[in-house]
Chains A and B, each alone.
Chain A
Amino acid sequence: MLSAYTRLLVAQIRSQTQYRLSFLADVVSTCLMSLLDIVAVLVLFRVTPALGGFSGRQVLVMAAMALLAFSLSDLLVGNVERLRFYIRTGLFDVVLLRPLSALGQLLVIDFAPRRTGRVVQALVILAVALFLVDIDWSVARVAILVVTPLAGSLIFASIFVAGATVAFWWVESGELANAFTYGGRDFTTYPVSVYSGWFRRLFAYGLGFAFVAYYPALFLLDVPDPLGAPIWLGWGTPVVALLAMTVAACVWRTGVRHYRSTGS
């Protein structure tokens, strides 16, 4: 079982490195892309001293935590995005015929090793961001720092999987899922207090993005929420992740059962 996945993985890595110049450009742009979110935060704070009631350094901690969670989930399940390509071309039939889990195969077939670089980058950025703020370190804070990116990445992963599943019903769904995956990443980069109205309710609470970085960061920084939420919500990330994964798993199963080959 495991060796079958490993072989698919190695084949993928080898094929990607065949066109060297292109692979290099790929690696460079993926690294730049994740730096871009952080650079955006820095640029915004050139223009304003505060954002949603938080200082630049505080927002940087949130942005770095969001980036780490997103990079982890992108590494693990990011290529589930390719599902719509598999459905359109009929390759998903092949995937279903093999005696391996459909989701597992999808994740391995298009595994993108360049994405590991992003995780390392995010770790470094988080370390720098934490160094720049005053944190009264305690066991609870260290625990939250370790648990949050992992649980946060599961929240993103659930969104990735659920979003890709839309392609079972709507083959040309194109960028629809991006609104919630990449949109979610951008949303979690900034404090929730920046947003308002139904948009905040949907993204922060409905989809659980407030738990990826915002509440845990408030706990780490020991800053009260300007919106009045209690500080212990920082512990909520694993619970929300569990909920999100349950929903995503149900959506995925319904989708696979709903699948009718396009016949191509």
Chain B
Amino acid sequence: MGLDVRAFLALTSAGFRRWSTYRQATAAAVFTNSVFGFLKTYVLLAVALGAGGAAVGYDGPMLVSFVWLGQGLIGVVMLWGWTDLADRVRTGDVVADLLRPVNPLWTYLAADLGRAGYATLTRFLIPVAVGLVYFDFFLPTRPASYALFTVSVALAVLVSFTFRYLVNLTAFWLLDVRGVMLLAQLMMGALSGLYLPIRFLPDWCENVLWYLTPFPSMLQAPLDIYVEYGGIGTQLAIVSGQLAWVVVGFTACGWLQRRAAWKLVIQGG
């Protein structure tokens, strides 16, 4: 089940255009993400101040860019609310996806990359600009950090996509995925470094998250690379970890999708 490059790019640009029509929703999301940006910045700056200037190796400017880049990446990585596939499973439309001569995993991926591209231009850039204007924002000292950050964001989108796809696939068994979705969103928010840098957690907890869950690879990874937490060695290790999760994610999606196709019950008919 191949998918040629032209079809993939066409789907990607369709994804981009689809999301570019949701202008009101994008504006509302940018506004909300920015308000939360202010909130988190003040709290984390107070933490750094209380801890004597730096909290677990993050000083004020590092925390500022951690917060604002994170707020911008919420939309790009799409930590919340993607139920396209699950909705189609519930209505039975997914049959059409499975009948096409291309694997739906790749068509949904293409569309998601288009979405992420649009989000980068809007939901990422605007909050980051707000953060740059209002606060003392950390800028990387090594040029390589910018390149690594870009790679890391792309990998984060892939890791997040595979996780969201897996959660959506559970609809084949559960039909109503609201509860599972809520649980998944909760984990993506709490364990990815969005609420707090996960380095604030006890060491054992942090290690479990980095090595045994994909969540830090979705957000904390690019943020730590940008603020140059540790040297270039640490940055490369973070990217390799993300790569590993991309491989694990796509393998799991392929496997579960085959199982799901076996299990398929057509609703309604």
Contact = CB atoms under 8 A, between A and B. Distances in A.
Contact of A47 (B47, B176, B178, B180): B47
B186 interface: yes
B132 to A, nearest CB: 16
A173 interface: yes
Contact of A176 (B32, B38, B174, B179): B32
B268 interface: no
Size class of the contact patch on chain B: 35 or more
A22 B35 contact: no
A24 B179 contact: yes
Nearest to B178: A22
Interface string A9-39: 0000000001101111111111011001000
A30 B182 contact: yes
Contacts of B50: 48-52
A16 B243 CA distance: 39
Contacts of B183: 25, 28-29, 32
A50 B175 CA distance: 47
Contact of A171 (B24, B32, B175, B196): B24
A36 B43 contact: no
Contact of A36 (B29, B195, B201): B195
Contact of A23 (B38, B48, B175, B179): B179
Contact of A25 (B22, B28, B39, B180): B180
A173 B28 contact: yes
B255 interface: no
Contacts of A200: 42
Contacts of A206: none
Most chain B CB within a 10 A radius of its CB, from A40, A49, A173, A176? A176
A22 B173 CA distance: 11
A43 interface: yes
B43 to A, nearest CB: 6
Given A173-B24, A174-B24, A25 B182 contact: yes
B201 A43 contact: yes
Nearest to A178: B32
Grouping DSSP codes into helix (H, G, I), strand (E, B) and loop, the B interface class, with mixed when no group exceeds half, is: helix
Interface string B154-191: 00000000000000000000111111101101100010
A18 B31 CA distance: 37
A194 B43 contact: yes
B260 interface: no
Contact of B35 (A52, A174, A183): A183
A36 B190 contact: yes
B42 A26 contact: no
A240 B4 CA distance: 62
A40 B195 CA distance: 8
B182 A26 contact: yes
Most chain A CB within a 10 A radius of its CB, from B39, B176, B196, B202? B39
A172 interface: yes
B39 A183 contact: yes
Nearest to A26: B179
Interface in A177-205: 178-180, 183, 186-187, 190, 194-196, 199-200
A258 to B, nearest CB: 17
Given A25-B183, A51-B47, A52-B46, A43 B196 contact: yes
B29 A175 contact: yes
A21 B174 contact: yes
B36 interface: yes
B229 interface: no
B36 A183 contact: yes
Nearest to A39: B190
A179 B42 CA distance: 15
B42 A196 contact: yes
A40 B202 CA distance: 13
Given A44-B47, A173-B28, 7 more contacts: A28-B183, A43-B201, A44-B43, A48-B49, A172-B28, A179-B32, A179-B36
30 contacts: A18-B176, A22-B180, A25-B179, A25-B180, A26-B179, A29-B182, A29-B183, A30-B182, A33-B186, A36-B186, A43-B201, A44-B47, A44-B200, A46-B201, A47-B200, A48-B48, A48-B49, A48-B50, A50-B50, A170-B24, A170-B28, A174-B25, A174-B28, A175-B28, A179-B32, A180-B35, A183-B32, A183-B36, A186-B39, A194-B43
